[in-house]
Structure 1
């Protein structure tokens, strides 16, 4: 996970990035599918940040590892603390975790479960969430206010192409 470059009051983050801001009127944006965005802020200090977690848990030789998810959350929280946030005053809202491709494992649900469990374990109240479903989401987070705007992005139906039959081979053998 890397910190998104500071680009003034408007910051867009992509997969594997996070950003923190104390700019009044600033906004952090992202677009999510099965990924999760965690928006965390300190309402007294008026600082906040967002991460964009691609895969919170991964399969390792020793089993399942939460390393990537824990790292993403700790980088975000530590970034806020560096801006003067008090860890005991933090609040969160979480978004994403859609099931974007049917028939595959539900990565979105796994990501969402990780973040919900992490916030509970760390004692950070989750004041709002929009998780699951089958649509992508566009998120706009106003870190100094803790306000979030979400817009779902309609998924276009996957085109179904008819199966074409190969013409029969003419090899002199007739099947009956």
Structure 2
């Protein structure tokens, strides 16, 4: 292991943070996508023939029926985030759905006061991919912890680090703020862990 705690064969290269609502795609072997997840989900999709991949990051499976997003469809919501990522990888890759591989992360229940948004996100992403005819090749979802995920879009390598409770507290504050704006009411295989 290197001093950074990552396997020696892993070079971070150019690290690009994927924030909530983002969807990024690249084919450069120097690029690493990185994000921190609580109850959010990040899907990592790669065209295994073209060497093109991407990562999204969403908090809510669906938009609240009581309020429309003032900017229209938003990548904060699962269906839009998944469709956007798949279409971007298909466009920059071979265009063949059969060449896509999916790795999915997040969905932690990091705060007992939330209506297990993480579990709803996990159910959503599994159902979405199944309905679209895709298979998840690896995953690290659920639990009661936050995670840092790093993904190499060209090779498809993913690394997950489970985070300490101090990181959970910060993520809980951020997610509760977003959830309150969305009318969610708080209640009284080849993944390498590093």
Query: Which of the five TM-score ranges fits, normalised by the shorter chain?
Result: 0.7 to 0.9
Counterpart pick for 2:90 among 77, 81, 104: 81
State the alpha-carbon separation in 2 of the partners of residues 22 and 30 from structure 1.
18
2:141 alignment partner in structure 1: 131
CA RMSD of aligned residues (A): 2.2
Contact 2:107 2:119 in 1 (8 A): yes
State the alpha-carbon separation in 2 of the partners of residues 22 and 84 from structure 1.
9
Whose strand proportion is higher, 1 or 2? 1
2:36 alignment partner in structure 1: 31
Q: How does 1:143-154 map to 2 (within 5 A)?
A: 143-154=153-164
Unaligned runs of 5+ in 2: 1-12, 67-73, 170-194
Q: How does 1:25-104 map to 2 (within 5 A)?
A: 25-61=30-66, 68-85=77-94, 86-104=96-114
2:117 alignment partner in structure 1: 107
Contact 1:35 1:97 in 2 (8 A): yes
TM-score w.r.t. the length of structure 2 is: 0.71
Displacement of 1:73 after TM fit? 0.6
State the alpha-carbon separation in 1 of the partners of residues 38 and 114 from structure 2.
14
Q: Secondary structure at the match of 2:155?
A: coil
Aligned length in residues: 148
Q: Secondary structure at the match of 1:95?
A: strand
Contact 2:39 2:110 in 1 (8 A): yes
TM-score w.r.t. the length of structure 1 is: 0.77
Q: Secondary structure at the match of 1:105?
A: coil
State the alpha-carbon separation in 2 of the partners of residues 82 and 152 from structure 1.
33
Whose helix proportion is higher, 1 or 2? 2
